[in-house]
Amino acid sequence: MCGIWALFGSDECLSVQCTSAMRIAHRGPDAFRFENVNGFTNCCFGFHRLAVVDQLYGMQPLRIKKFPFLWLCYNGEIYNHHTLRKQFDFDHQTKVDGEILLHLYDRFGIQKMASLLDGVFAFVLLDTANRKVFLGRDTYGVRPLFKFITDDGFLAVCSEAKGLTDITHAAESPANIVALLPGHFEAFDLKPNGKVQPVQMEPFHCCTEEPAHAVYDAVEMLPASCEDEAVRSNVRALFESAVRKRLMAQRRIGCLLSGGLDSSLVAATLVKLAKEEKLPYPIQTFAIGSEDSPDVLAARKVAAHIGSEHHEVNFTAEEGIQAVEEVIYHLETYDITTIRASVGMYLISKYIKEKSDSVVIFSGEGSDELTQGYLYFHKAPTPKAAAEDSVRLLKELYLFDVLRADRTTAAHGLELRVPFLDHRFTAYYLSLPEEMRTPKHGVEKHLLRDSFKDLNLIPDEILWRRKEAFSDGMMSVKKSWYVCLQEHLESMVNDDQMEKAHQTFPHNPPPSKEAYYFRQVFEKRYPGQAEWLSHYWMPRWADASDPSARTLALYTPDKDQ
């Protein structure tokens, strides 16, 4: 996890502009570097480092003797860097995983370079010999990247939008700050005056395609059988591989554990593989919730079963309400369900930073989108419609759950790892027959659960535990966290404001007082940037006015809660 920031063709003195780079200092608490580009006095890189791989040579922009004309700033982890290095016989100068980008780019060009990377990443690559600038972002946008470009070609890039909002430029018309699309790279020509000209924007990988790096993967190409046992075996093999490759770290690894299916599978597999790989410490797991919350009780059962060093963070509605403004600042969104779920994740990340030495944090994001885990999938009109919605959700993850997971952990200098969004695992799961992936016998994610049954990896009652939204499960069934939040915010927004909500906020008008309050806080921090969110996250095929699963007619609490 790091924070990257770069300017090409700045009109203002760089020493003034670089104060904006400090807005993302939380992403890299270990070191900071600010570097000008030789021969281009108005181009520079800023880098905040969280040291996880190669403590000695990991500072950026990364440059090596073999390619003195290449400058690389990237945030992420490339899990197959050793494999590719061996495969193509590259002569590496450092142990940094990102060095592989320089060798791949030199040999194959930008498109193939990006498609061969197995990992999560956002990068800025400068080639001064060919006068090119490239930006790229991983398939699901697990790592963030924002940019703006003015009419006259001043390009600014940053890991978070907050590092771009105060940058000054001489262009007459305002420059829109936009997120780089996941799974895409963008190319620019670099002019002698340091400004750029956009020349190409192309996808290099889509979630439904087998990734190009699969042919070099440790798990060989899988048999194409749709027999139940073969499929279950493949699901297990690819999931285990996804967790194993993410053990790449020189800092302590921990895991978020809500006691739901997804985080429990991640935590159990992580503990099992950590023992196999002989990691010199026990895996720490972290749960958050009120004392009688279903999540805390379930997580406790899982931790006892898998033998993790378990930590519980007590959550109160008052503490959550106090954190909302700060959470919205870090998130850069006003989406309702994203904010609700982020409060708990932000507070547990704060605890991990202050009370433990775990830095690399595993989590279960992506599973609900991939395996049709949301309760509304029970209402899908056809398996085809469900499969299409699953892909839509995966492509929009960067606006919602992946955004939440990145910003709430990065706010406290932690690095997130999400094995459910492994390229091979997701491509395989999406390639299975549509009927196979739908809810069965009234149980969502049936195929995933079925793949891990009779293994004693996690307790049976957890393996078959009903989906509970993280923002709901943190508090008791009697009173959800979102209800406490709504009750508190009821007095903060009056009826008159709600009546005029469509006029005040024509783009995504807030549907409730809670949403109105979130929007007010967002506008105070990021005025005029409402278009960063294209739409609110809402369930499909249900007449829903609220994103919480607990508001759906389908919802029935577990009997032991």
Binding site annotation covers 183? no
Q: Residue 293: which residues within 8 A CB-CB, separation 6 or more?
A: 315, 473, 474, 475, 476
User: What is the spatial distance between Cα 58 and Cα 50, in angstroms, rounded to a whole number?
Assistant: 9
Residues 371 and 430: beta-carbon distance below 8 Å? no
Three-class SS string for 226-269?
Answer: CCHHHHHHHHHHHHHHHHHHCCCCCCEEEEECCCCHHHHHHHHH
User: What is the spatial distance between Cα 170 and Cα 156, in angstroms, rounded to a whole number?
Assistant: 13
Give the largest Cα separation in the chain, rounded: 69
**309: three-class secondary structure by DSSP:** strand
Residues 141 and 163: beta-carbon distance below 8 Å? no
Binding site annotation covers 189? no
Residues 64 and 19: beta-carbon distance below 8 Å? no
Binding site annotation covers 364? yes
Binding site annotation covers 3? no
Element (H, E) at 488: helix 481-489
User: What is the spatial distance between Cα 436 and Cα 434, in angstroms, rounded to a whole number?
Assistant: 5
Cα 96 to the chain's mean position, in Å? 22
The single-letter code of the amino acid at 296 is V
**393: three-class secondary structure by DSSP:** helix
Query: Angle CA(301)–CA(302)–CA(307) in degrees, nearest 5?
Result: 105
Q: Residue 125: which residues within 8 A CB-CB, separation 6 or more?
A: 70, 71, 72, 74, 101, 105, 110, 133, 134, 135, 136
Neighbouring C-beta atoms of residue 11, cutoff 10 Å: 17
Q: 371: which DSSP letter?
A: T
Retrieve residue 467's tokens: 């989906």
Binding site annotation covers 9? no
Q: In what order do the strands lie in the sheet with 284-289?
A: 309-314, 284-289, 252-256, 358-362, 415-417
Query: Angle CA(509)–CA(514)–CA(517) in degrees, nearest 5?
Result: 75
- What crossing angle do the helices spanning 336-355 and 513-525 adopt, rounded to 10°? 60
**548: three-class secondary structure by DSSP:** coil
**312: three-class secondary structure by DSSP:** strand
User: Closest Cα to residue 308, out of 243, 354, 382, 257?
Assistant: 257
Q: In what order do the strands lie in the sheet with 2-8?
A: 31-37, 40-49, 2-8, 155-158, 146-149, 178-179
The single-letter code of the amino acid at 212 is A
Active centre residues (catalytic): 2
Annotated binding site: 97, 256, 288, 363-364
Annotated binding site for ATP: 256, 288, 363-364
Annotated binding site for L-glutamine: 97
